[in-house]
Amino acid sequence: MTLRCDVLQEPVHYDKTGVRVLTVCPGATKTELLTESPKRQMDNELGEQLSKKIETLIAQKPDNVANAMVHILNKGDSGSVWVSKNNEPPFLVSFPEVEI
């Protein structure tokens, strides 16, 4: 038996509903969610650790995520999974078939 991650790519889903299902995984993005997170930790030590980690990330601009969304909405097939990160164009994620 083969486990497939692309079941929603089958035309029958779109043909019956007219709805595409797309997944976008944005990387670190320069928003308050990222910049304010260290202040919202349970204690100062956790906040300091998170601040250090955030400093190592290449945080993309929100515009990059917005542009990625437009691209994905225009080009993405139903059931597709995309990543937007590092101020780069989005890329499609491929999943291997797994025998179960």
Amino acid, res. 27 = G
Token duo for residue 1: 């038996």
pLDDT along the chain (100 residues), means of 10: 58 84 94 90 90 93 97 92 96 83
The answer to whether the beta carbons of residues 80 and 69 sit under 8 Å apart is: no
Structure tokens at 89: 């164009």
Question: Which residue has 């097939």 as its token pair?
Answer: 77
pLDDT at 84: 97
pLDDT value of position 7: 65
d(CA 12, CA 25): 25
2-99 belongs to CATH 3.40.50.720: yes
Helix (H) or strand (E) holding 96: none
